[in-house]
Amino acid sequence: MASHQHKKRFGQNFLNNDRIIHQIVAAIAPKPDQHLVEIGPGEAALTRPLLESVAKLDIIEIDNDLIAPLTQKLSHFPAFHLHHTDALSFDYAGLRANNHSPLLRIVGNLPYNISSPLLFHLIDYAEAIEDMHFMLQKEVVKRITSQPGFKTYGRLSVMLQYACEVENLFMVGPENFDPPPKVDSAIIRLRPYKQKPFQADDEAAFGDLVRQAFSQKRKTLRNNLKGWLTLSQIEQCQLNPSARAETLSVKDFVTLANAYTHLGQ
């Protein structure tokens, strides 16, 4: 593919190290009968080995200038399906023909400026997804995999750990990209639960309560959940109203959300 002018607004940093590419493909371990989706293929460093391995690869790319080169270079592969669209608003469930079709395996090198909103968008489609392998900034991966009590623990940690089993696979240094970013990256695996360890009775209410609980990180549950749950209702969940959101487990948030959902019933 001819040299592409990297665009800052799309956060484009393209992989250029074959050893790292092979390591990522090995972690994904694509099989011939699987349906993969790649978000932001860039200059197709990962795309070609994936196309050689699976029956269908849907590719999502927003950059106008990459559409023609990607098509020219890869359209001879039977698995190749290109979508010129925004990954943040894409209907991923629509890629499956029906509920008996293989679940989607999603991969991508995600730019920092869309990584969190895209991950929140994708977990809305968790029932259609087998797993996800993403290259993200190391700090984002730390936030996703963080545990209660750490400064990196927040809404992103709770929402993704509620929906998925999360695993930090390995680091990728800036020297493996063109242009080199100013930060380290990491590969993460997210595997949506078929049956969640802790089930919110109303998942929309759960998401809203988690957002509210972290709305002012220095404040306590007593303050952030005022108007949602009283002090006694929080205490009935076996939680201290003076605790901060960053000290609560996923289970604790589910307990609070279910108490809120069933108020007055």
pLDDT computed for residue 105 by the predictor: 97
186 and 238 belong to one structural domain: no
- Asked if the model's pLDDT at residue 12 lies above 70, the reply is no
- Asked if the model's pLDDT at residue 152 lies above 70, the reply is yes
221 and 177 belong to one structural domain: no
208 and 256 belong to one structural domain: yes
Could you tell me what percent of the chain has a pLDDT over 90? 74
Task: Report which secondary-structure segment, H or E, holds 185.
Answer: strand 185-192
79 and 48 belong to one structural domain: yes
pLDDT computed for residue 8 by the predictor: 43
Count of structural domains, the chain: 2
Gyration radius (Cα) of the chain, Å = 20
For residues 7 and 63, is the Cβ–Cβ distance under 8 A? yes
85 and 187 belong to one structural domain: yes
Mean pLDDT over all residues of the chain? 90
58 and 158 belong to one structural domain: yes
pLDDT computed for residue 3 by the predictor: 47
207 and 235 belong to one structural domain: yes
How far apart (Å, rounded) are the C-alpha atoms in residues 52 and 78? 9
- CATH number of the domain that 133 lies in? 3.40.50.150
pLDDT computed for residue 181 by the predictor: 66
How far apart (Å, rounded) are the C-alpha atoms in residues 85 and 93? 15
Which structural domain range is residue 233 located in?
203-261
144 and 238 belong to one structural domain: no
pLDDT computed for residue 131 by the predictor: 98
Residue 3 counted as domain residue: no
Which stretches of 12-84 are assigned E, i.e. beta strand?
Answer: 14-15, 35-39, 56-61, 80-84
Residue 156 counted as domain residue: yes
- Asked if the model's pLDDT at residue 114 lies above 70, the reply is yes
- CATH number of the domain that 231 lies in? 1.10.8.100
